[in-house]
Amino acid sequence: MKTIISIIAALLFSTLFYGQNIGLNLSVFSVITIGLLIFQHPKIARLKSAIVFIVVYFTTAIVVYFNHSALAIFANCVAFFTLIGTFSESRSSIYIRWLNGIYTTIAAYFQRRSDSTIDQEQQNWKKNRDYLQLAKLIGIPLMVSIVFILMYKNGNPIFNGFIEKINFEFINFQWFLFSLLGFFLFNNIINPVQIHPATTKDLQTDNQLHPTGLLLLDQLKKEQQLGILLMALLNILLIFYSITDIYYLLNNDIISASALSSQVHSGINTLIASIIVAILIILYFFRGNLNFYQDNVLLKNLSYTWIFLNIGLVVLIAIKNTEYVVVYGFTYKRIGVFTYLFLTLAGLITTFLKVRNVRNLWFLFRINTQVAFAILMVSSCIDWDHAITNYNLKHAENLDLNYLIDLTDNNAILLQDYTAEHRVSSNQQQRIHDKYIGFIDKVSERNWQEWTYDNILINKKFDR
């Protein structure tokens, strides 16, 4: 049954993807995958975590059709691996699901081959088979025939002509191999496998930190003294830095792009160093028994202060970046800064939770990878090229039109509409026109497998 399903799925796979670009085909593939997984594993599909990831994967499939951006395709692939990993082991952490998902997709067949046990009857049959004789029967006549065919070809022009006429071009062998790849893929994902040591270890590890051995009070006291001194110094330093930064922010009307850019980037560098050091120091001191030491309140409070001061640093840089965006509009780098700030904020909050709730390092890994996954999924839902162009054309005080022209074709219609209503240089107008025409041509030439939402838009625009 599974083989028949895999064969049908493989034929669909080659129909969807053979010689085609990404478009509607990836969305259809996602729906087929979801359908097959639910059909094959109905019990797992009813679990809450499976439902969540099915919805996420389905959403990314729709997003690929509407956005057609590299980020949307990447998010769809990540969601695919996560879903497969969920069907491998639904209780595991998200990074173990990724590993299981990737492993299942690329090598589940080999895992099953290794796991398969041959029964006695098959073993006897294998033993009784004379491999050498079989090789002789096939190999020797084949090789001798080929050598003689090659010799006779040179000796007789009619025979040569006959041999030359033999061709297998009527068989699309590459299509067959592509279908084989599809079969391999579906055969793998229909029966998900696990990376045993990693999955087992993950399931056995909880998020709670436990005391290790006896609490050596003298040693813990010394460690705490060092921690208090270090954290107090770092807090004072960061307070001083933040005050000077706020003063600078309030008393300087910087309008040049380079000055704003340098401010944001130096701020980001400071932030990166500060956050990494902060988290490492906190993790070092709260790695073990200091968490269970009764007099650790001061050290904990200093750590919380340090975390909140770093959150303040995040806010300061966010303000600078917003200023930058208001004047010069959005770019990918500026959006990247916001993303980084958001991730940092999540990292700091989870570190705070780790210390407060006495959690271990695995808790940080688990929760932060989930946050990263969520951010990727949410950000893939936005057509960034379109959003950047739309915002900059409407709101940016200093518009960099060349930057917008260099973005992908997703903003071609917006730019073309803009040139119809605004004055732009002839060079830019020409470039926008070329981009628009190129986009229309590209969209019009697509096969149904490559369709995206742009096809509907273009058809509507030209009333086809």
Partner 1 sequence: MNVFLNFCKSTVLATLIFWMIISPKSFEVDTFLFVLLSMIPVFVCCVVTIALTIYPFFSLFETKAFDKKAVFNTFFPFYAIVAFSLCIYVIFLSNFEFYMIAFFTSAFMTTSYSWVWFSKEPM
Instruction: Give contact residues for partner 1 (rule: CB under 8 A).
Output: 99, 102-103, 106-107, 110-111, 113-114, 143, 146, 149-150, 153, 163, 166, 168, 172-174, 177, 195-198
Query: Which residue lies nearer to partner 1 by CB, 148 or 247?
Result: 148
R_g of the chain computed on alpha carbons: 31
Query: Which residue lies nearer to partner 1 by CB, 158 or 166?
Result: 166
Query: Which residue lies nearer to partner 1 by CB, 173 or 462?
Result: 173
Structure tokens at 185: 């893929």
Q: Is 104 helix (H, G, I), strand (E, B) or coil?
A: helix
Query: Which residue lies nearer to partner 1 by CB, 148 or 240?
Result: 148
CB 175 → partner 1: shortest distance, Å? 9
Query: Which residue lies nearer to partner 1 by CB, 200 or 207?
Result: 200
Query: Which residue lies nearer to partner 1 by CB, 164 or 253?
Result: 164
CB 434 within 8 A of CB 50: no
For tokens 């088979």, the residue is: 129
CB 2 within 8 A of CB 190: yes
CB 56 → partner 1: shortest distance, Å? 22
Query: Which residue lies nearer to partner 1 by CB, 103 or 373?
Result: 103
Rounded to whole angstroms, the Cα distance separating 385 from 411 reads 6
Which of 326, 333, 343 lies closest to 392 in space, CA to CA? 326
Rounded to whole angstroms, the Cα distance separating 260 from 266 reads 10
Query: Which residue lies nearer to partner 1 by CB, 113 or 464?
Result: 113
Distances from the Cα of 259 to the Cαs of 256, 266, 273, 396, in angstroms? 5, 11, 21, 17
Rounded to whole angstroms, the Cα distance separating 14 from 312 reads 53
Rounded to whole angstroms, the Cα distance separating 331 from 337 reads 10
CB 164 → partner 1: shortest distance, Å? 8
Query: Which residue lies nearer to partner 1 by CB, 115 or 253?
Result: 115
Structure tokens at 71: 């980020």
Q: Is 208 helix (H, G, I), strand (E, B) or coil?
A: strand
Rounded to whole angstroms, the Cα distance separating 373 from 88 reads 18
Distances from the Cα of 445 to the Cαs of 58, 281, 302, 455, in angstroms? 27, 57, 63, 10
CB 179 → partner 1: shortest distance, Å? 13
Phi/psi for 208 (5° steps) reads: -90, 140
Rounded to whole angstroms, the Cα distance separating 454 from 443 reads 7
Rounded to whole angstroms, the Cα distance separating 54 from 71 reads 19
CB 138 → partner 1: shortest distance, Å? 12
CB 213 → partner 1: shortest distance, Å? 28
Which of 75, 83, 71, 64 lies closest to 22 in space, CA to CA? 64
Phi/psi for 359 (5° steps) reads: -100, 165
Q: Is 22 helix (H, G, I), strand (E, B) or coil?
A: coil
Which of 81, 3, 80, 88 lies closest to 44 in space, CA to CA? 88
Query: Which residue lies nearer to partner 1 by CB, 105 or 351?
Result: 105
Query: Which residue lies nearer to partner 1 by CB, 102 or 381?
Result: 102
CB 189 within 8 A of CB 104: yes
